[in-house]
Amino acid sequence: MKPISIEEKLNLFDQYWNPKIIAELNGQYVKLAKVKGSFMWHTHEREDELFYVLKGCLHIQLPDETIQVKKGELAVIPQGVRHNPMAFEETHILLFEPIETRHTGSVHDERTVETPEWI
């Protein structure tokens, strides 16, 4: 058991919208992701999704509004709520999700990562 350097882990990858696992606790993965541009509209039917912004600003489009999540802030998108994360500049986020959660929710396309990589 030792501390995990988030900065060191972020330096290990460059891909956008490809979350990497850095820890596991209580049936959940702790993931890091770099994001830029628009992701995709999707829903998580059985899980809430927590986004914590480490760098930049994440915009989360919802059916009736868009919320901004700035560095040092977090947002929880409740299960079943359709959303589309996006970032105008490179943004770094920390995610807490149940192990079985796919980052694209119920949508499957070429950006879907079936088995996230541990770093």
Residue 108 is predicted with a pLDDT of 66
Indicate the pTM of the whole model. 0.88
Residue 114 is predicted with a pLDDT of 65
Q: Helix H segments across 1-119?
A: 6-10
For the chain, what percent of residues have pLDDT higher than 90?
A: 71
pLDDT exceeds cutoff 60 at 104: no
**Tens-place pLDDT, residues 10-58:** 999 999 999 999 999 999 999 999 999 999 898 888 889 899 999 999 9
DSSP states of 6-64: HHHHHTT---BS--EEEEEETTEEEEEEEEEEE---B--SS--EEEEEEESEEEEE-SS
Residue 18 is predicted with a pLDDT of 93
Please report which confidence band the pLDDT of residue 103 belongs to, taking 50, 70 and 90 as the band edges. low
* CA neighbor of 93 nearest in space, from 112, 72, 108, 110: 72
Domains identified in the chain and CATH numbers: 6-118 (2.60.120.10)
CA distance 119 to 117: 6
